[in-house]
Structure 1
Amino acid sequence: MSGNMMTGRWTPEAAHAWFKAQPWLVGCNFTPSNAINQLEMWQASTFDLPTIDRELALAASVGMNSVRVYLHDLLWLEDSHGFLDRIDAFLNVADRHRIRTMLVLFDSCWHPEPALGPQPEPRKGVHNSGWVQSPGMPTLQNADEHHRLEDYVRGVVGRFGQDPRVLAWDIWNEPDNGPEVALCDPVALQAKADLVVPLLVDAFGWARDMKPMQPLTSGIWLGDWSAPDLLSPIQRAQTGHSDIISFHNYGIAEDFAQRVKWLKTMGRPLMCTEYMARPAGSTFQAILPVAKEHEVGTFCWGLVKGKTQTHLPWDKWENPNIEGLKERWFHDIFHEDGTPHDENEVEFLRLISELDKIAA
């Protein structure tokens, strides 16, 4: 039975059949350079299709065939019809570049109190200084607002669930992330998990009810995955409801390969939906050959250096310092004018993706 005929979680056989029908997925997490976060990317006043078009052309120029893009529940609340139309316009542009899109519905990273309207300017020297959670903590804590989150999931998946321009649905990015993780506060972490797990499971169900032809997933990123009993309750919910197993890894090639080995025991296809942090040893040259060998789809973090400032390392959040990183970026591939940060890297990307096309 094909995935799009199922009402429940896909069988491993259906998931593998879907995955084998795809090219080797080489892509990036995409936010246009003139947007500091999801809201600035998508709000009507700042939605910039020409910039999106120009930057997706850069992704295509290095052989990328997919992008992972974040949405936000507040955009649905503000103007659901306009939001859907802007997603449609984005998908049109991506499709013209032969790029398919993984849409991310929720995200627990960075600022816990998002607000519509003009977004803040970047903080000098700080990685991802304006990124916002979806849903924000006030909504997460208020069960009376969860019905609008259901409307959002059903509305977006209902509109694009049979759309071949959409590659997959990432239900929730790093649901066990946020300030609580940075502060290592076990009480706050447990409190957040108690709020997130039921909503995460509900969100999978709402999306599944719309019978999308694309697979659902939510990527794990923390800890030791070498045995099922080592997974946290959130990780068990993520992997237990995902059609395709996805994960994040910013480690060296050996660490990446070890995690792939652990996750393959789940019997489903794998996608690494975040990697590539040059100073940490997670580079295209180190990771992509391993991913290709093990048939793992890949999405690096970042494309064009811009307002997210993700060319700066994570620790700049606590220690802003724009000196000392002029030679080597953390994430991102191109300057805003389209010149590569590293010509050798761009040539490697073209080579490995072209070799894949020839092999196919």
Structure 2
Amino acid sequence: MQKSQNQSWLIKIAIFTLIIIAFSLDSRAQTAQKWPEKKAWDWYNKQPWYCGFNYIPAYAINYTAMWDKTTFDPKAIDRELALAEQSGMNSLRAVLQYAVYEDDPAYFLKTLDTFMALCYKHHIKFIPALFDDCSFGIKSDPVVGKQPEPLKGWYAWAWSPSPGHSMVTDSTTYPKLEKYVRDIINHHKNDERILFWDLYNEPTNGGLGSATFPLLKKVIVWARSINPDQPLSIGMFDQNPRLNEIIINNSDIITFHDYGNKETVTRAVEKFQKLNRPLINTEWMNRPFGSTVSEILPIFYQYKIGCNLWGLVNGKTQTDLPWGHRPGDPPQDLWQHDLYHGDFKPYKPSEIDTIKEYIDRSEKKEYIELHKHQ
């Protein structure tokens, strides 16, 4: 009789344990879903209007050089972010480099924290992009260590994708990439210095096409399972319907790139508004295309769409040149990107004045709204 009772209790305990596990798994599955619209808007409505830039230090020819042990320069970054702060800007986006993490994870995490501390010092929110498919030079796989010098006249000559095209197309490397994603996000999933996670910059770009889809889908699953406090997003940048379906279905907030003129950007904003989610532009400003501070910034301000132009200080990437520019091509009078020369003189002082004006307007408006309800 005692044995039968013991068995009965063991069965009951086992059933109870299974119920608890099932409930826990179900709860975790529910929290690991795309944010509901209300949660996304509740988050966004607490934010100021973010007006910032895509950042790569002037000393760095690519994002490998930005983060690598041989060249990471916090003093140079401190000076440039102080310049951004003086210009009124309050957000920046930068691509992380998997190859540097793989070389020394502890070093990379420490360096990332150093960088984020500098952002915080200058009142700038950080938008990290975990991966990037873009490739403008002759190499599509990053290599750590000292990077090549610029090739005069070649736009983004030595740009280095992350993790590199070979790893993107080789699924046997995905466990390594999963460790990277989980390590980075877990370390900063409650970090108020991060505005949101940009999981993948321009997936499929650089000639990869749909070969990126398997990794992109995995990255979304890995990041979502961590359930960070910050929203997750992937920027829309072209008209690929399959890619955009993946992005829209898995982004808490809608982010996008647009280097077009006033009419183009207005149409894009009106189209994206139909998705009923907060909008943030993560790349813009191409002066020859009509994507200028005077024409485009007022649109983002009007619709309260956060925006991050490209870029801050002109340097080794030579992004003053137009896309595709090669040595010997005719020079272009108008810079494509960047706000400042290497000596910190503004390319166009009127642009800095306009940025300050609109950020000042936004801050005054927010102040009035805050005190209206007190």
TM-score when normalising by structure 2:
0.87
Pick one of 229, 243, 267 that aligns with 2:252: 243
Structure 1 residue 6 displacement after superposition: 3.5
Pick one of 358, 363, 370 that aligns with 1:352: 358
**1:54 has 2:61 as partner:** no
1:152 alignment partner in structure 2: 180
**1:27 has 2:55 as partner:** no
Structure ID, larger Rg: 2
2:222 alignment partner in structure 1: 206
| Alpha-carbon distance in structure 1 between the residues aligned to 2:79 and 2:103 | 27
Matched-pair contact (CA < 8 Å) for 1:62–1:346: yes
Identity in percent: 38
1:183 alignment partner in structure 2: none
SS of alignment partner, residue 92 of structure 1: helix
1:215 alignment partner in structure 2: 231
Structure 1 residue 321 displacement after superposition: 4.1
Structure 1 residue 238 displacement after superposition: 1.3
| Alpha-carbon distance in structure 1 between the residues aligned to 2:48 and 2:190 | 19
4+ residue runs over 4 A deviation: none
Q: Which runs of 5+ in 2 are unaligned?
A: 1-29, 367-374
Pick one of 88, 98, 102 that aligns with 1:77: 102
SS of alignment partner, residue 303 of structure 1: coil
**What letter matches 1:313 in structure 2?**
P
Per-residue CA deviation, residues 83-107 of structure 1 (Å, 9 max, x unaligned), is: 0100100010110110010000000
Matched-pair contact (CA < 8 Å) for 1:15–1:269: yes
How many residues end up aligned between the 2 structures?
334
Matched-pair contact (CA < 8 Å) for 2:301–2:358: no
- Give the root-mean-square deviation of aligned CA atoms: 1.4
Q: Map 1:2-41; keep pairs closer than 5 Å.
A: 6-41=31-66
2:267 alignment partner in structure 1: 258
SS of alignment partner, residue 47 of structure 2: coil
**1:130 has 2:147 as partner:** no
**What letter matches 2:93 in structure 1?**
R
Residues 322 and 59 (structure 1), Cα distance of their counterparts in 2 relative to 1, 3 Å cut: farther
| Alpha-carbon distance in structure 1 between the residues aligned to 2:330 and 2:124 | 36
Structure 1 residue 173 displacement after superposition: 0.6
TM-score when normalising by structure 1:
0.90
**What letter matches 1:64 in structure 2?**
M
| Alpha-carbon distance in structure 2 between the residues aligned to 1:97 and 1:278 | 27
Structure 1 residue 141 displacement after superposition: 2.1
Structure 1 residue 322 displacement after superposition: 7.0
SS of alignment partner, residue 129 of structure 2: strand
**1:311 has 2:311 as partner:** no
Pick one of 190, 211, 214 that aligns with 1:162: 190
Structure 1 residue 49 displacement after superposition: 0.3
**1:343 has 2:352 as partner:** no
Moved more, 155-164 or 106-115: 106-115
SS of alignment partner, residue 235 of structure 1: helix
Structure 1 residue 328 displacement after superposition: 2.4
Structure 1 residue 61 displacement after superposition: 1.2
| Alpha-carbon distance in structure 2 between the residues aligned to 1:25 and 1:241 | 22
Matched-pair contact (CA < 8 Å) for 1:245–1:270: yes
| Alpha-carbon distance in structure 2 between the residues aligned to 1:73 and 1:349 | 33
| Alpha-carbon distance in structure 2 between the residues aligned to 1:84 and 1:299 | 24
Q: Which runs of 5+ in 1 are unaligned?
A: 181-188, 224-230
Structure 1 residue 210 displacement after superposition: 1.6
Matched-pair contact (CA < 8 Å) for 2:287–2:336: yes
| Alpha-carbon distance in structure 2 between the residues aligned to 1:168 and 1:6 | 17
Matched-pair contact (CA < 8 Å) for 1:103–1:169: yes
Matched-pair contact (CA < 8 Å) for 1:32–1:52: yes
Matched-pair contact (CA < 8 Å) for 1:65–1:100: yes
